[in-house]
Amino acid sequence: MKRIIFSLLVLSLTACSSLETEQPPTAFHSRDLSDSDADGVINARDLCADTPKHAVIDNNGCPIVKYSEEENKLHILFANDSDVIPTAYNAHIKKMSAFLAKYPQTHIVLNGYASPVGPTEHNRDLSNRRAANVYEALVSAGVSPERIKTIGYGDSDPVQAQTTAETMTLSRRVTASVVGMESNVVESWSIYDQRKD
């Protein structure tokens, strides 16, 4: 009896091995569903094919970008009929230089002015020399000359103050205002890290 069962078992195993097994069906996709940058948006719909890893994305596969801006102002006062930058403003020059280094795409316009005393032509020349000296100071502090423009307004725009003496003092100036803008990709986060926005 044992011999018969053993023989039947051998025959059944031989029969199973001689049958060809069917291969599973191959899935056919009518569209390419690949996602090269692994952002969850297929290549056919992805408008930003090189999304940074861990970026929060929109429906088009583009990273969400957060913008921030910062402003820095320069305001230097000069002595009467002088184009020499007082040493007290050296720190202001260095601060503006550092700001421009932080935002390399920005440019600065130096506006030179003079007090409304004396001939207009002399005041225009004086305001140009004041702006030019601040230009030189910024270049010496490391700012590229191509990023700086100077304009001399002469005595055309005096500061309105309570007294004439104060008006004269505040009008002898060079001013500038620069806005720097930064953009950062918003990153996704999980329970294991912190969002950086």
Within-domain flag for 110: yes
CB 63 within 8 A of CB 48: yes
Element (H, E) at 95: helix 90-102
57 and 71 assigned to the same domain: no
Within-domain flag for 11: no
Residues of the chain with pLDDT under 70: 1-20, 27-31, 189-197
Of 39, 63, 87, which closes a domain? Answer: 63
Within-domain flag for 43: yes
48 and 143 assigned to the same domain: no
Quote the CA–CA distance of 148 and 138 in Å, as a whole number: 9
For residue 28 the two structure tokens come to 């056919």
Domain boundaries, position 48: 25-63
Going from the C-alpha of 72 to that of each of 37, 58, 122, 134, 177, the distances in angstroms are: 39, 33, 30, 15, 6
The CATH number covering residue 141 comes to: 3.30.1330.60
Please state the domain count of the chain: 2
Q: What digits encode the pLDDT tens for the residues 7-39?
A: 555 555 555 555 567 787 776 666 677 777 777
pLDDT of residue 173: 97
Give the dihedral sign, CA 24/30/60/58.
negative
Quote the CA–CA distance of 57 and 38 in Å, as a whole number: 11
Within-domain flag for 127: yes
99 and 150 assigned to the same domain: yes
Quote the CA–CA distance of 171 and 8 in Å, as a whole number: 113
pLDDT of residue 17: 52
- Helix (H/G/I), strand (E/B), else coil: 99: helix
Within-domain flag for 190: no
Quote the CA–CA distance of 183 and 69 in Å, as a whole number: 9
pLDDT of residue 197: 46
Quote the CA–CA distance of 102 and 174 in Å, as a whole number: 22
pLDDT of residue 189: 64
For residue 15 the two structure tokens come to 């029969």
Quote the CA–CA distance of 190 and 153 in Å, as a whole number: 56
Give the dihedral sign, CA 76/78/84/89.
negative
